[in-house]
Amino acid sequence: MNRPTVHLCVATGQNIPNLIAALQLGATHVIIFETKDMHGQASNLKRALCAHGIEVDCVPFDDSTPEATRKSAESAAVKYGEQAIVLNATGGHKLMTLALASEMRLADHLHLLYVETRHNRLDWLQPAPETEPMDNVLSLDDVLMVQGYERVSDNRRDVSWQSCAQERGEVTRKMGDGADELGPFFGVLNNLAGKAIDGDNNAFRPQQKLDYAPGGQAPGLLRAAANHNLLVWDNKTEIVFQSREAAAYFHGGWLEEYAWLKLSGIKPKDWAVNLRVREVASGAENECDIAVVHANRLLIIECKTGAFGRRDAKDADIVYKLSQLSGKLGGSLGKKLLLSARSIKDAVRDRARSYGVDIMAGDEVKRLVAYLSAWATPE
């Protein structure tokens, strides 16, 4: 069925469904009803719509009392009810939505819509009950804009960063895919790399010493790293990092590159690495290791190679901040994952579960592709 290209919607704290409908249905003009409390959210939605060349009008809506709500809805029906129009009833509080639907139900050519994000579909009530699947329409910038943020920078757009990540991809995959056996050695290598780059006066101290000669899978990893000119190893206890960048890679950057390599293979809609964003209203900046958008949902991944469980307050803070950032950037559809090269104790897992944070740690890291694939194909 051909749908009208003029949309009415209500600014809300969760504007992603409004944006999905406008983009999927090819809206050319969107009228946003904004209450006094939703002025900022209306501005965010308008910015995201205008980025796609869609004409937007923000119209004040008085919801201070039930009678004021009814009158505002009646006024909207009088002004817009004689044209073919889509009324997106997803946003707004219940009384406001009921008033709008009630006042406009007899309007000619009214298409009444609800965006059912839980089941990835668009549900129509008028002119006839109908359901259609939700398209994969949102990019990372779409999600950021509608949530009131803008991208500052990210490494995925940095050609030099990508080139380096590709060149040492063999080492990165060896670490990630072998996390179950290499896990204990990650802490040792992370610690040495930290000492190399965290010296006084920003000094770089490339020469570091192991407490004992490594065994198991660690020698193979060190040899592979040496073959890629990341370090020099004397086959005993001395390690020399070839550059500050190489030390930073072993201090944690490798896990972000591992996630990037896996994402490059499964090709989600959009993603970024080491993403910096700015809140438009306040100018405050935030950072996240990985941000992925697919099926109109945002996944934030925090990558950690250090130990968990030694400092309970710090561990809880990491989990809490990840949860909060996901909510700010992705709204109610946001998902969060803590990806750790080291094992994580049950206490931290319990804390993460209470905040809705998924965890993949230690030997679970090598199953990242399966996790991403399941997340990218919601039911």
> Are 234 and 266 contained in the same domain?
no
Residue range 252-271, pLDDT digits in tens:
899 999 999 999 999 999 99
* CATH number, residue 347: 3.40.1350.10
141 located within any domain: no
pLDDT value, residue 182: 87
- Out of 194, 218, 251, a domain closes at 251
Q: Is the peptide bond before 129 cis (omega within 30 degrees of 0)?
A: no
Residue 291, token pair as written in the block = 């941000």
Residue 85, domain extent:
6-135
- Out of 251, 278, 311, a domain closes at 251
* CATH number, residue 87: 3.40.50.10770
pLDDT value, residue 183: 81
Into how many domains does the chain fold? 3
3-state secondary structure of 42: helix
> Are 269 and 365 contained in the same domain?
yes
Residue range 117-129, pLDDT digits in tens:
989 999 999 999 9
How many of the other CB atoms lie within 10 Å of CB of 160? 8
Radius of gyration of the chain (CA): 25
pLDDT value, residue 114: 96
> Are 274 and 192 contained in the same domain?
no
pLDDT band at 305 (very low <50, low <70, confident <90, very high): confident
Q: How far from each other are the two terminal CA atoms of the chain, in whole angstroms?
A: 25
> Are 264 and 245 contained in the same domain?
no
> Are 37 and 100 contained in the same domain?
yes
Residue range 149-179, pLDDT digits in tens:
999 999 887 889 999 999 999 999 999 999 8
**Residue 196 predicted with pLDDT over 90:** yes
- Of residues 268 and 81, more confidence is placed in 268
pTM: 0.91
Identify the weakest region by mean pLDDT among 105-109, 264-268, 344-348: 105-109
Hunting for tokens 């997803």 — which residue is that? 90
- Out of 251, 273, 308, a domain closes at 251
CA angle centred on 354, ends 352 and 357, rounded to 5°: 40
pLDDT value, residue 28: 98
Quote the longest CA-to-CA distance of the chain: 83
**Residue 377 predicted with pLDDT over 90:** no
Rounded to an integer, the average pLDDT of 81-99 is 91
- Helices H / strands E in the chain, number of each: 14, 16
* CATH number, residue 196: 1.10.10.680
pLDDT band at 280 (very low <50, low <70, confident <90, very high): very high
140 located within any domain: no
247 located within any domain: yes
100 Cα distance to chain centroid: 33
**Residue 25 predicted with pLDDT over 90:** yes
163 located within any domain: yes
E strand spans, 136-284: 149-153, 207-209, 231-233, 238-241, 270-279
> Are 233 and 274 contained in the same domain?
no
